[in-house]
Amino acid sequence: MFDAVPEHDGRLVKLLGYANPFAHSGPLLRPVCQASSLDPAQAGLYRHIFAPSGHSLDALDLPARLLRDTSPIPHPDNREGYNGDHHLAYWLTGLRSYLQVSDIVSRHGVEAGQMLDFGGSTGRVFRHFAHQTDAWQVWSCDFKMTSVQWNLAHLPTSITCFQSNWGRYFTVEEIIPQFCGRQVAVVLRKP
């Protein structure tokens, strides 16, 4: 399949790899840094990330949020290229998504429970559910074994990570009973 792709266009090969669980996803690479070592003073460079979210970057107490996050930041190759070498931007986009999901479920009266990040990769979003509050039991799955292995090696053991089935889609009726009827925030993302 990839033989027909011109060698000079690695973007297409990478894009096709996202949809192919058998695509080479590379080795587990060392984390680039601890989240707590990121410089919150640099957050102003990424103010645009929060513009559409309804959250003020200035009101988020980023130094305290960064200190609560005890997990490392994955190498860009292990995080599917999200934000390249802009490690704080990677962390901030996950925080933004965490805050947006929290706002949505809160409007429906859900303040705690179990959270499943379907296609969670190496934790850009679900890490915040684990570190920013103790209200959630956090689950993540991904069809790429490299992502699951990275999570098991570097994230807290309180997070349940497993490899999902890429060959078919789960129905809500299949997912919800696994959570024993508890309130669940299911984060679904398109590949």
pLDDT in tens, the chain (191 residues): 334 434 444 444 444 444 555 555 678 899 999 999 999 999 989 988 888 778 888 889 999 999 999 999 999 989 887 899 999 999 999 999 999 989 988 888 888 888 888 889 999 999 999 999 999 999 998 888 889 999 999 999 999 998 876 555 655 555 554 544 444 445 444 33
User: What pLDDT does residue 183 have?
Assistant: 43
In three-state secondary structure terms, 33 is: strand
Q: DSSP per residue over 89-151, as a string?
A: HHHHHHHHHHHHHHHHHHHTT--SEEEEEET-TTTTTHHHHHHS-SSEEEEEEES-HHHHHHH
**Any idea of the CA torsion for 47, 50, 55, 59, to the nearest 10 degrees?**
-30
pTM: 0.78
Q: Which domain holds residue 40?
A: 33-188
**CA 191 to each of CA 9, 38, 64, 142, 143: distance values in angstroms, whole numbers, following the listed order:** 20, 28, 32, 10, 10
Q: List the CATH number of the domain containing 122.
A: 3.40.50
Distance of CA 95 to the CA centre of its chain: 9
User: Quick check: is 121 in a domain?
Assistant: yes
User: Quick check: is 27 in a domain?
Assistant: no
User: Quick check: is 14 in a domain?
Assistant: no
Domain count, the chain: 1
Measured in Å, how far apart are the chain's first and last C-alpha atoms? Answer: 19
User: What pLDDT does residue 156 have?
Assistant: 95
User: Quick check: is 1 in a domain?
Assistant: no
User: What pLDDT does residue 36 have?
Assistant: 95
User: Quick check: is 20 in a domain?
Assistant: no
User: Quick check: is 24 in a domain?
Assistant: no
In three-state secondary structure terms, 179 is: helix
Residues whose CB falls within 8 Å of the CB of residue 6, separated by 6 or more in sequence, listed in order: 12
